[in-house]
A and B are shown apart, each in its own frame.
Chain A
């Protein structure tokens, strides 16, 4: 049980240090923890509103030189199942997204060994010529990969991509921002400092970003909290993160054999994230990994956002987990939990009305 002084501190929404957060995470009563996270959420968002975005995940290529052990999506170069999306295919996916009331595309891909930065600049210019749509693209590991492959600084890469049409950067590839863990699960991917440096540079150049955490693979529980504190420190400096999205590793078809973390572990981590990340406005529920029922419960454990309708999702699906969720169903879940659903953009501006998309 937590000591009363710490309970009072949490109930007063005071900033927690790592040791305090650890005590809360390891020892707090499940119901109390959820309630405290929900109170923080209500203080930040007093309106009974849950937001969501309509977008699709476009993976321009699955060809990747990283070979991360938790990934079921990638194919090594020269593998017969490797692909690179053509511009007409991309255009068709964008048209479909807009027709369904979508406001953005989330575009990410593997670390392709043979494509120069100019390829991605052309891709962005093509998208922007084709449609007025928000492009949320290229996670920090991809930016670091572009920087190394093209012998350019991270700052130059971001500036050139921004010039070509990049609107914001997704928080993927963070996994666990502790190098001891990264060496085990993703040894060829950018380190934690590099990930954070990309985000800091992006924020300085005026690009907003999100932050994620993939937990439940080969990290220790304390590493999850260290991850949160690194994000909080950077957010103190830049204020550039719009949202935090934790989700649990799905082991199907990957090189890491273990049982996935369950719903209770997810809800505890979500709640402690809400308590630690006092400078993040938004926390997203992950229906893609947790399913619609637990995502709905996440709205009482600190989440104020239902994430995306995900017209298309490939990476989690490659690990054998395919939850489906139409916009109508998302509305039903949010309303049955006592909230009003509202469509938003990447930077959490409201979009009026309900899209006609019914999935």
Chain B
């Protein structure tokens, strides 16, 4: 829907014209969109872009999460997942545990495994290489999307080697993609307050740049709704947009609403529906060079994620078997959705469901068994 008089009445006719003509929005434009009293007007603009990119298709993936350990040296204030080594609730999975999760019947149809964990003080890089090799051996068609930029830098620091060397070793062991976590908000001010021990924003971007240079594509996230300003969110988006201009390596952007339960941030409140949907829409509008925007139902709730498909999102993530990080912070969504639930949510919202692989290519399943996804598609 594009109603020029509507945008005129909101004082946004210039932004609407830029969106129509495919002109890049400035940070000031982003701030005006956040200030717009009508979330629907912002959503309709984002929907226009989403429709231009993806038509009526909405993507989902059959995937499983594996969190190999919650032992972490960073101690970020917003995290309800991490534990110090030896603390109650700290865990570390054995290789058998991990492989067991990929051979259980409910994981039979998945095409992707998403592996992330804390910055563990003791695990050597060889542990992760073995993990990936063994996964590759037992599930040769599974795409391994593993280790955030923060973990990659941690591995490099621990091994006293370069990020490039770590990525090369992991790539040789089977790593195909990096997930987008650990980006939080790049602002140094916010990181000093929330995660002073974590890799900096510039460091996060440097790891992503190196990965893209090596042909390892990645996602990007933004954890919002804690202490950051709208301006800091927009600067985060702009930093991603600039790196994407350089590398073209990002597949998907995922805004993550902060989950306040059991974290160390006092008086923190959950984000509201208006903020969640505006953030999806503003992300779609600002990130003119990142192909996909994900409505991650685990953090957003299923209801908001479905609505987000009309606010610029074109992907619902997936079955997400055994998600831990969001749920330990009080995420109220269920554990795991089935394929038919995902397809129904997408159809009920008025879109066409498309099962995708990790590279956002449609998965053909003539016999409903595990498909071998195509690999290494060129950047858009």
Contacts and interface: CB of A to CB of B under 8 A. Distances in A.
Contacts of B43: 31
B307 A263 contact: yes
Interface string B296-310: 000001111011011
Given A261-B348, A264-B348, A293 B303 contact: yes
Interface stretch (A16-24, A195-203, A331-339): A331-339
A296 B307 CA distance: 12
B275 A336 contact: yes
Contacts of A338: 37
A264 B38 contact: no
A31 B301 contact: no
Given A259-B341, A264-B349, A300-B38, A337 B272 contact: yes
B350 interface: yes
Given A31-B47, A32-B3, A332-B269, A262 B303 contact: yes
B98 to A, nearest CB: 32
Interface in A276-304: 290-297, 300
A259 B6 CA distance: 36
Given A30-B310, A293-B303, A293-B304, A336 B274 contact: yes
A83 to B, nearest CB: 29
Given A29-B1, A332-B269, A337 B303 contact: no
Interface in B325-347: 332, 341, 344-345
Interface string A151-193: 0000000000000000000000000000000000000000000
B304 A259 contact: no
Nearest to A293: B273
Interface string A10-39: 000000000000000000011110110010
B133 to A, nearest CB: 40
Interface in B292-325: 301-304, 306-307, 309-310
A324 B342 CA distance: 26
Contacts of B142: none
Contact of A31 (B44, B269, B302, B349): B44
A265 interface: yes
Contacts of A32: 1, 3
A329 B268 CA distance: 12
B40 interface: yes
Contacts of B6: 35
Contacts of B310: 30-31, 264
B47 A332 contact: no
B40 A300 contact: yes
A332 B272 contact: yes
A212 B73 CA distance: 54
Contacts of A38: 38, 40
Could you say which interface size class chain A belongs to?
20 to 34
B220 to A, nearest CB: 24
Contact of B306 (A31, A264, A296, A329): A264
Interface string A307-335: 00000000000000000000001001100
A291 B303 contact: yes
Interface in A14-68: 29-32, 34-35, 38
Contacts of B272: 292-293, 296, 332-333, 336-337
Nearest to B300: A293
Given A30-B350, A262-B348, A294 B307 contact: yes
Give the interface centre of A35, A261, A267, A329 by most chain B CB atoms within 10 Å: A35
Nearest to B311: A31
B39 interface: yes
A261 B37 CA distance: 28
A262 B44 contact: no
Contact of A297 (B269, B277, B349, B350): B277
Contacts of B41: 31, 35
B344 A259 contact: yes
B112 interface: no
A262 B273 contact: no
Given A34-B40, A294-B273, A262 B302 contact: yes
A294 B40 contact: no
Contacts of B277: 297
Given A29-B1, A293-B304, 16 more contacts: A31-B43, A31-B310, A35-B3, A261-B348, A262-B306, A262-B345, A264-B306, A264-B310, A264-B349, A291-B301, A291-B332, A297-B39, A297-B273, A297-B307, A300-B39, A329-B269
Top-9 shortest CB links A-B: A293-B273, A263-B303, A31-B44, A264-B349, A296-B273, A29-B1, A336-B272, A297-B273, A31-B1
22 contacts: A30-B47, A31-B44, A34-B40, A259-B341, A261-B348, A262-B306, A263-B304, A263-B306, A264-B307, A264-B309, A264-B349, A264-B350, A265-B348, A291-B301, A293-B273, A293-B276, A294-B273, A294-B303, A296-B273, A297-B39, A297-B273, A329-B269
Interface of A: 29-32, 34-35, 38, 259, 261-265, 267, 290-297, 300, 329, 332-333, 336-338
Interface of B: 1, 3, 6, 37-41, 43-44, 47, 269, 272-277, 301-304, 306-307, 309-310, 332, 341, 344-345, 348-350
